[in-house]
Structure 1
Amino acid sequence: MKRVALKVAAALAVGLIWVTPGAHADEYPGSKPVSAVVPFSAGGPTDKVARELTMIMSKHLGTQIVIENLGGAGGTIGAKKVAQARNDGYTILIHHIGMSTAPALYRNLGFDPLKDFEMVGEIADVPMVMVGNKNLPPSNFKDLLPYIKANASKLSLANAGIGSASHLCGLLFQSAIQTELTTVPYKGTAPALTDILGGQVNLICDQTTNIAGQLKAGSLKPYAAMQARRVEAFKDIPTAGEQGLPGVEVKIWHAMYAPKGTPKPVIDKLSAALQKAVADPNFRAKMAELGAEAVPAQRATPDSLRTFLAGEINKWTPVIRKAGVYAD
């Protein structure tokens, strides 16, 4: 009898274990806040996107989403924390293109972007624009290309540090024109822009969320939008393709993830709230102010992000390895 009772108790215990995730998912999120880890400092471009998004997404999810800034090592510290967090839906990650470049930039990454996360969906694209000091002689990108070829040893290309958006854009640009410039890494975009404005360095390729103010003020010389079509907020800037360099397209995209094993019903709720947020007119307007573009709702899905992330990893890995640069 004791053995039978023990077997019954064991069976019930196993049943409870298997039932718990489903019951939890049905109740999610309840009144408990969700922590959204942004693996960069407050005030940066990813943080700006995340704060605008979570303010609207919280309403659709039915609970508060609290931003946790955890910067360092190109976003890998924050990403690794989320990869190791409880997979209950109360810790999520909002990251940028760094999720696709980290596998090539870091030899001891500590996580796999495709295997250690559940995808929630894409959020927004931030265009890149090649800009220069106002005193540079070329008046447009078409004239800039031969000027670079003739003066490569004298020209400098700034970036905000290894693995930054400006660094990646610069790598792709140099690879496309098969010409190496003197690259000057900085600890952030602000000091790099200060030196470009002052004439200490010549060029930088950076996100519109960082340089929108200078572009509107006319304090930088815009050469090209590094994407297939013109930037909605800066339609007067021709694309690189329009000016003789087709195929050089760099966008700094943002997306949302959860720890591997987060129950599908929880992911579905997060994704549904994300889809409503990216379609919200106020969010789309806020992104436009930053020169960014909210993705269509069909891209704010797990399947879309999984396919896109795999493609981006395949795109950037050979570029980074050819350059022979590492961030660790």
Structure 2
Amino acid sequence: MHSAARRLCAAAAIFLGAVSAAAAADFPSQQPIKMITAFGPGSASDIVARMIAERLQTRLGQVVIVENRPGASGQVATDLVARSQPDGYTIMLATNTTHSSNPFLYKSLRYDPVKDFTPLAQVCNFPFVLVVSDKLGVSSVQDLLKYGKANPDKVNYAYGNSTGQISAASFDKLTSMRAAAIPYKSTPQAMTDIIGGRSTFMFVDLASAAGQIKAGSLKALAVTTEKRSALAPDLPSVSEALGQPGFDLAAWVGIFGPANMPAPVSKRLADELYAVVSSEEVKQKLTQMGAEPTPAPAEKLGPFVAQQLKVWGEKVKQAGIQPE
């Protein structure tokens, strides 16, 4: 009996392996590919996802659909992808929020950013900018500090994602402003209240804020990178404006699949994605929207995530943010 059972199990394993190999060889002809993003339509992540999906679709000859699954600071989308079938038909445009910051901001995260994912390609960085409403009458970081000192009971900061939260909390601690933290479900909602004067300041990615800055409804005061950004050369860095080195924060974007993807499938996706994100056309479009292209293949994305977990863990600690 035991021998027969073992033979049956072995035969089943061989059959399933053959089915898996056949499916991998057939990839991606079976169904559309879903690219999940953790943020809503019109967000910087959404724009990048659609840019990549359109070109990936052309290269693969298969429909690639962008699916927005916002919620819980990216946890909804990330957990969904982590628990998806590792067949290549569900991938994710992830960010430092989902794969570097959340592990230090939430006590009971349901996914592991390293163990539960297959790295596919690194895409770009997003410098963040410190912005205020044009109605506030503030034109520089020093002006904002003076405003905060004169209005200690009014000053607050808004945020719609973890990078904005960590940047603002770090700034608040560094300057001793003691501003109240106001969380929002999304970055656009937070920007709306900044423009309307209901919140004092926020840190937002340049890509999301560029239109409002150009229109004049938002005033940009500084960038979060250690040095001035080539994307906004007229803006000082926060470190420069404060005369204190060490303030250096930027969001990053990468593409992942679930863990345990068949090697032929992950390689096909990784190769095609890297071809897309390293193309001159995509790099130019990323720059135009306020991002810094950082294309890198799958084998470099894994070590990068491990390094960024250390970086953002330290940033959260320095900012004094307690996990929820």
Shorter-chain TM-score range: 0.7 to 0.9
- Please tell me the residue identity of whatever aligns with 2:104: A
Q: What is the percentage of aligned positions where both structures have the same residue?
A: 28
Q: Report the secondary structure of 2:134's partner residue.
A: coil
Whole-angstrom distance in 1 between the partners of 2:30 and 2:293: 28
Distance in structure 2 (CA, Å) of the matches to 1:230 and 1:56: 31
Give CA-to-partner distance per residue, 1:235-257, whole Å, 9 cap, x none: 22222233323221221211111
Q: CA deviation at 1:65?
A: 1.2
Residue identity opposite 2:53 in structure 1: T
What is the letter of the counterpart of residue 117 of structure 2?
A: F
Find out whether 1:306 has 2:302 as its counterpart.
yes
The 5-angstrom pairing of residues 140-155 of structure 1 reads 140-141=140-141, 143-144=142-143, 147=146, 150-151=149-150, 153-154=152-153
Q: Say if 2:155 is the partner of 1:125.
A: no
Q: Distance in 1 between matches of 2:250 and 2:75?
A: 20
Partner residue, 2:312: 316
Counterpart for residue 62 of structure 2 = 63
SS in 2 for 1:104: helix
Deviations 1:215-246 (A, max 9, x none): 21233222111113433432222222333232
SS at match of 1:295: strand
Partner of 1:254: 253
CA–CA distance in 2 between the matches of 1:270 and 1:65?
12
**What is the Cα deviation at residue 80 of structure 1?**
0.9
C-alpha separation in 2, matches of 1:255 and 1:96: 6
TM-score (norm 1): 0.85
Q: 1:318 to 1:175 in 2, by over 3 A?
A: farther
Q: Give the secondary-structure state (helix, strand or coil) at the position aligned to 1:89.
A: coil
Q: Secondary structure at the match of 2:152?
A: helix
How many Å apart are 1:290 and its aligned residue? 1.9
Offset at residue 84 of structure 1 (A): 1.0
Superposition pairs of residues 155-174 of structure 1, within 5 angstroms: 156-161=155-160, 163-174=161-172
Instruction: Give the Å deviation of 1:318.
Output: 4.1
Residue by residue over 1:103-157, the C-alpha shift from the partner in whole angstroms, topping out at 9 and shown as x without a partner, is 122222111111111111222211100112335565333x347536744724523
Contact 1:152–1:180, Cα closer than 8 Å, also in 2: no
Deviation at 1:56, TM superposition (A): 1.0
Listed one character per residue, the Cα deviations across residues 61-97 of structure 1 (whole Å, up to 9, x for unaligned) are 3322111222221111111111111111111111222
- 2:239/2:246 contact within 8 Å kept: yes
1:120–1:152 distance in 2 versus 1, CA, 3 Å: farther
1:234 aligned residue (229, 232, 235): 232
Q: Scaled by the length of structure 2, what TM-score is found?
A: 0.86
Superposed CA offset, 1:190-211 (max 9, x none): 3433333333332111111221
Answer yes or no: is the 8 Å Cα contact 1:133–1:196 preserved in 2. yes
In structure 1, the residue matched to 2:270 is 271
Query: Does the alignment pair 1:285 with 2:284?
Result: yes
Name 2:196's counterpart in structure 1: 198
Partner of 1:27: 26
Residue identity in the other structure for 1:196? I
Counterpart-to-counterpart distance in 2, 1:263 and 1:85 = 14
Match in the other structure for 2:35? 36
Using a 3 Å threshold, how does the CA distance of structure 1 residues 126 and 180 change in structure 2: closer, same or farther? same
Q: How far apart are 1:175 and its partner, in Å?
A: 3.5
Contact 1:122 1:256 in 2 (8 A): yes
User: Alpha carbon RMSD of aligned pairs, Å?
Assistant: 2.9
Distance 1:178 1:224 in 2: 18
In 2 relative to 1, CA 59–144 (structure 1 residues): closer, same or farther, beyond 3 Å? same
Is the CA contact (8 Å cut-off) linking 1:40 and 1:47 kept in structure 2?
yes
Moved more, 264-273 or 29-38: 29-38
Q: 1:207 matched to which residue of 2?
A: 205
SS in 2 for 1:223: strand
The answer as to whether partners of 1:121 and 1:302 remain within 8 angstroms in 2 is yes
Give unpaired runs (5+ residues) of structure 1.
Answer: none
Q: Unmatched 5+ residue regions in structure 2?
A: none
Distance of 1:36 and 1:191 partners within structure 2: 24
Contact 1:176 1:248 in 2 (8 A): no
Q: Where do residues 128-139 of structure 1 align in structure 2 (5 Å cutoff)?
A: 128-136=128-136, 139=139
